[in-house]
């Protein structure tokens, strides 16, 4: 169960691929603990720089049928970013990170 103070969902049910430890599906329950209101589905994944990367996923509102799809075209890992990028100032100002973007 999910702490109601921290989430709009009362329950989440998660399916995980035991071979890769990657989430395949999540059902979200808002009001009725037996009927999900939304569903997240993994549609695509690939190995990138030795890491599993989710490349295509979607969230479906099960009552309306509306979908939101998220596609990741590229992801870079182990970029050795400087600590100065993680200050409050840098996190508030996108221009400070532009030279590190792909």
Per-residue pLDDT reduced to its tens digit, 53-98: 999 999 999 999 999 999 999 898 988 889 989 999 988 988 888 8
Half-sphere exposure of 85 (CA within 13 A, CB side): 12
pTM of the model: 0.76
């Amino acid at each position: 169960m999910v702490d109601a103070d921290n989430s709009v969902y009362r329950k989440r049910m998660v399916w995980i691929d035991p071979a890769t430890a990657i989430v395949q599906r999540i059902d979200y329950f808002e009001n009725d603990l037996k009927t999900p209101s939304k569903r997240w589905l993994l549609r695509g994944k690939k190995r990138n720089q030795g890491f599993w990367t989710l490349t295509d996923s979607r969230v479906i509102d099960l009552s309306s049928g509306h979908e939101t799809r998220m596609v990741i075209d590229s992801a870079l890992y182990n970029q050795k970013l400087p600590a100065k990028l993680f200050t409050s100032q840098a996190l508030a100002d996108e221009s400070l990170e532009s030279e590190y973007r792909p």
